[in-house]
Structure 1
Amino acid sequence: MKKGIFIGLAILIFSLTSEFTFAAIVDTVVTQSKSMKKEIKAVVVKPQLYEGSAKRFPVLYLLHGAGGKYSDWLLNTKDKEAVKKLVDNFKIIVVCPDGGVTSWYFDSPIDPTYQYETYVSKELIDFIDGRYRTINDKTGRAITGLSMGGHGGLYLGFRHQDVYGACGSMSGGVDIRPFPENWNIAKRLGPYNQFPERWEANTVINLTHLLSPNKLAIIFDVGRNDFFYDVNVALHDKLIARNIPHDFTVRPGVHNFEYWENAIAYQMMYFSKFFEKNQK
């Protein structure tokens, strides 16, 4: 290949790469939880066009799973830029809070250091809306997550329909009752055999009575070989029986980040359409 042609191709490739480079901005912030009397970190991913713009942006709260932390969605995907690309494509701010190792995103009745329903749905939102140019209304706010965070996404969405206009779950533990010995849930609610009423009241599948048709946009999915497959199908069937519209998908996959990296792209599209429809 002649030198001139090579240089020309190199310039062309560089130009194309630069044009499609994703430049979402990542902030790591320290928030205050008065309810738990501690500092909690979160990652905030802003679209590239956030800087220098006066517009306000919708926000997706994206929750991690059991044993995880606030940075999981940026560090554990195969494509390390996956979330940033989605943020730039859909022009949505994504907030990834630290939800504790095994909080399950509810307020523990026995452990004052695990009040994550209050933190995520009140304290964190107040912080984000006070610091960033957000659409400070449920029409511009959604929540979802993976595994434990999937439980959190639907649990908080169902219980706080004045806060979130849309909610979702990826491989979510949407019924905690079949797992009384797992993931420290008993440390948050007390043992199932001693406090069954707490488990019944704090599992997603028992909260469908809070829903009315078309009042909350709902999306959830699960891999066909995921250990949470059966409880997700049961939730889907219950929502159908109650005539609650929702988007439910079963696709090949297991309980891992390969599946979630694929799933979040579909959910971001869903939430983007919800935001667009409600901001017209």
Structure 2
Amino acid sequence: MRMKKGGLMAVFLVLLLRVSAAKVDTLDVFSPAMNKNIKTVVAVPDHYDRSKKYPVVYLLHGYSGNYAGYAKMKGVMETADQYQMLLVCPDGGYGSWYWDSPVDPSFKYETFVAKELIAWVDKNYSTIPKASGRGITGLSMGGHGALYLAIKHSDVFGAAGSMSGGVDIRPFPNNWDIAKRLGRYAEFPERWEKNTVINMLYLIQPNTLKIMIDCGTEDFFYKVNENLHRELLLRNIPHDYITRPGAHNGDYWQNAIQYQLLFMHRFFTEPDPGKK
């Protein structure tokens, strides 16, 4: 049988893609704090070996998204193979902002992600069960959530990223169910001040958290990300900051997520010159 060179190359590429395809499962993870199962996508390298220990990146979706969002993005799940790490994508509820809500006891997503899910993943997979083996990132509401959880739980996460993140909630008192989770800003300003990322930087201890922020110049969150960047500079907190033309949409995040995952890979594999 004869085969044209182009056809042979096509077969080779198909085989290569099959070899490097991560194993992706959608699972139910029970949350004792909320007394319900939470849908969670977990991607592991295709040749996952329980005798090895793998780092884990937790990916948080945005306000109108869900656990399946990252699995639908081109090339994201495959990075589990490329970088030999696990990807965990929990459902964060509709407008949870990844807080333990003081208003609605059915929303305890900080407890779920930072405690219950971590324990479940470390129990059921062969992971590096410490901050140096865990990263967390997200987009929009999930960008806020990733930084919020990593800053509050620096013993759990060693690296945090944000794509188009709502890193200061105060300019948006009537948007995205924030008031449903914290109460109205006019009535409970202390909750808003305490639970917005830009006001939490004092909690970051030196050399405890690697940070990467990314936001497009046409994004409605661009200004608050610029403010966060300047505040980090003022406090001498090392971080990577990427900005480029782009809006608050899937096209931007499809590009941004690859930078985030590369950042996480480098955190896991390269020695930190800031630490002895």
Indicate whether the TM-score tops 0.5: yes
Report deviation, 1:4: 2.8
**Identical aligned residues as a percent:** 52
1:142 aligns with one of 130, 135, 149: 135
Q: Write the deviation string for residues 185-230 of structure 1: whole angstroms up to 9, x where unpaired.
A: 0000000000000000000000000113322100111001000000
Aligned pair 1:207/2:222, yes or no?
Answer: no
- For these two proteins, the number of residue pairs brought into alignment is 271
4+ aligned runs moved over 4 Å, structure 1 = none
Which residue matches 1:10?
7
Aligned pair 1:58/2:55, yes or no?
Answer: yes
Q: Write the deviation string for residues 20-54 of structure 1: whole angstroms up to 9, x where unpaired.
A: 4331000111011111111111000111121x452
> SS of 2:191's equivalent?
helix
Q: Write the deviation string for residues 242-272 of structure 1: whole angstroms up to 9, x where unpaired.
A: 0000001101110011111101111111110
2:29 aligns with one of 28, 31, 39: 31
2:267 aligns with one of 260, 274, 278: 274
Report deviation, 1:278: 5.6
In 1: Cα distance, 2:2 partner to 2:160 partner: 54
TM-score normalised by length of structure 2: 0.94
Report deviation, 1:86: 1.8
> SS of 1:36's equivalent?
coil
TM-score normalised by length of structure 1: 0.93
Gaps in structure 2 of 5+ consecutive residues: none
In 1: Cα distance, 2:127 partner to 2:44 partner: 11
Q: Write the deviation string for residues 70-108 of structure 1: whole angstroms up to 9, x where unpaired.
A: 001112x3x3xx112222211110000000010000110
- Flag the 1:14–1:105 CA change in 2: closer, same or farther, 3 A: same
In 2: Cα distance, 1:278 partner to 1:152 partner: 27
> SS of 1:84's equivalent?
coil
Contact 1:139 1:278 in 2 (8 A): no
Which one has the bigger helix percentage?
A: 1
Contact 1:212 1:244 in 2 (8 A): no
Counterparts of residues 90-239 of structure 1 (less than 5 Å): 90-239=83-232
Contact 1:223 1:259 in 2 (8 A): yes
Gaps in structure 1 of 5+ consecutive residues: none
Q: Write the deviation string for residues 136-193 of structure 1: whole angstroms up to 9, x where unpaired.
A: 1111001010000000000001000000001110000000000000001000000000
RMSD: 1.5
